[in-house]
A = this chain, B = another copy of it.
Amino acid sequence: MDTKTHFAANLPKPGDSLASLSTPIPVIDEDRLAANIRRVQSYMDEHHLAFRPHIKTHKIPALARQQVEAGARGINCQKISEAEVFAAQGFEDILITYNILGDAKLQRLANLNDRISGIKVVADSIVTVTSLAAYFTGRKPLTVLVECDTGGGRCGVQTPDEAAALARGIAASRSLVFGGLMTYPKPDTEEAVEHFFIATMAYLAIDGIDCRIRSNGGTPSLFRAHLVPSATEHRAGTYIYNDRAMARAGHCTLDDCAMHVLATVVSRPTPDRVILDAGSKALTSDLLGFSDYGHIVEFPDAVITSLSEEHAVVDISGIDGIRPEIGERVRIIPNHTCVISNLFDRMTFHRDGIVTRVEDVAARGLVW
């Protein structure tokens, strides 16, 4: 028998109390989740911006459905496998914000493009464009956006000049359709994004090439998205769960964080040290600029100083008052929620401490 099925008896079930669940386990507060979706969608609606949630944060089709029902226009994926899972669940407007290379992935991309109407990818080099153009020759044309580096320092062409040149290459290919521009900017750099989009559009207008989509992105400065009037849409993932990094960025408060990792104090070897059962295999080692590994709701002055795989070492010397005891359960707001989704096969949801549903993290664990 499949081991995963064999041990399914230990899974949380609707109606269970959170207090009965084995730790460590990430749980999602349904009301905070719904409020996060509403709040961001309202902002986008108010500013007439199309909103494209990035599903890498949750990898769960039912959550993308909530996002779309609230008003989102399509979804954003980072990998072929994510797009495959969501396409199989009926999503049609999917932007994969990645340079796709290699025959195995191109074949799967072509299959997706045949099956659904709205597959779009990005490219930031002539190598990627040439390879896409060659692979899609004789097939249904593929829509490709140009990825622009507006200061984020990851992928993307470096200047509007380069963006226009690459766009012309895409537009000139009979097997590709030029879809527009895409960027994943540094937070709080709206002016740079606006300049990049406007300049590229101006260059392309001379050739009569239309940048239909101008896709901006990111959660941290999401509520400044209206400062990029040239953008037609905004992409964001983390906002649905939120996390400690988003609270620090000013996007939300700690009270808006829908994900908590439940953990248990398993040891208190010294008066100033407790050990939790949530280590790097439950929280990840993502620091995102913090010097510690998460915020303990019940003990905000405790500091998770280090993680090993199944242990968190917590310095409690700064706690003024009652200190955590062995056996006590705590809630950790993680530094970064998106990577935690990638660790767990299932995500547990609750309202007021009672489990409402358990969803498969359907798009994790697959071949790219």
A367 & B11 in contact (Cβ 8 Å cutoff): yes
Interface string of A249-283 (1 = CB under 8 A from B): 00000000000000010111110010101001100
A98 & B4 in contact (Cβ 8 Å cutoff): no
A264 & B155 in contact (Cβ 8 Å cutoff): no
A25 & B156 in contact (Cβ 8 Å cutoff): no
A104 & B10 in contact (Cβ 8 Å cutoff): yes
**A285 CB-CB contact with B under 8 Å:** yes
A155 & B311 in contact (Cβ 8 Å cutoff): yes
A4 & B101 in contact (Cβ 8 Å cutoff): no
Please give, as numbers and ranges, the residues of chain B lying within 8 Å of A22 by CB-CB distance. Answer: 102, 104-105, 367-368
**A66 CB-CB contact with B under 8 Å:** no
A366 & B4 in contact (Cβ 8 Å cutoff): yes
B104 & A269 in contact (Cβ 8 Å cutoff): no
- In-complex Cβ contact of A127 among B25, B156, B327, B363 (8 A): B327
B365 & A345 in contact (Cβ 8 Å cutoff): yes
Please give, as numbers and ranges, the residues of chain B lying within 8 Å of A79 by CB-CB distance. Answer: 310
B104 & A6 in contact (Cβ 8 Å cutoff): no
A81 & B7 in contact (Cβ 8 Å cutoff): yes
Interface string of A276-300 (1 = CB under 8 A from B): 0100110011110000000000000
26 A-B pairs with C-beta separation under 8 A: A3-B362, A4-B365, A6-B88, A10-B104, A10-B366, A10-B367, A11-B367, A12-B367, A22-B102, A22-B105, A56-B309, A79-B310, A101-B266, A127-B326, A127-B327, A131-B327, A153-B313, A154-B308, A154-B311, A155-B275, A156-B269, A158-B269, A158-B270, A280-B339, A284-B284, A309-B342
Q: A-B pairs with the 5 shortest C-beta distances?
A: A345-B365, A10-B367, A127-B326, A99-B266, A155-B267
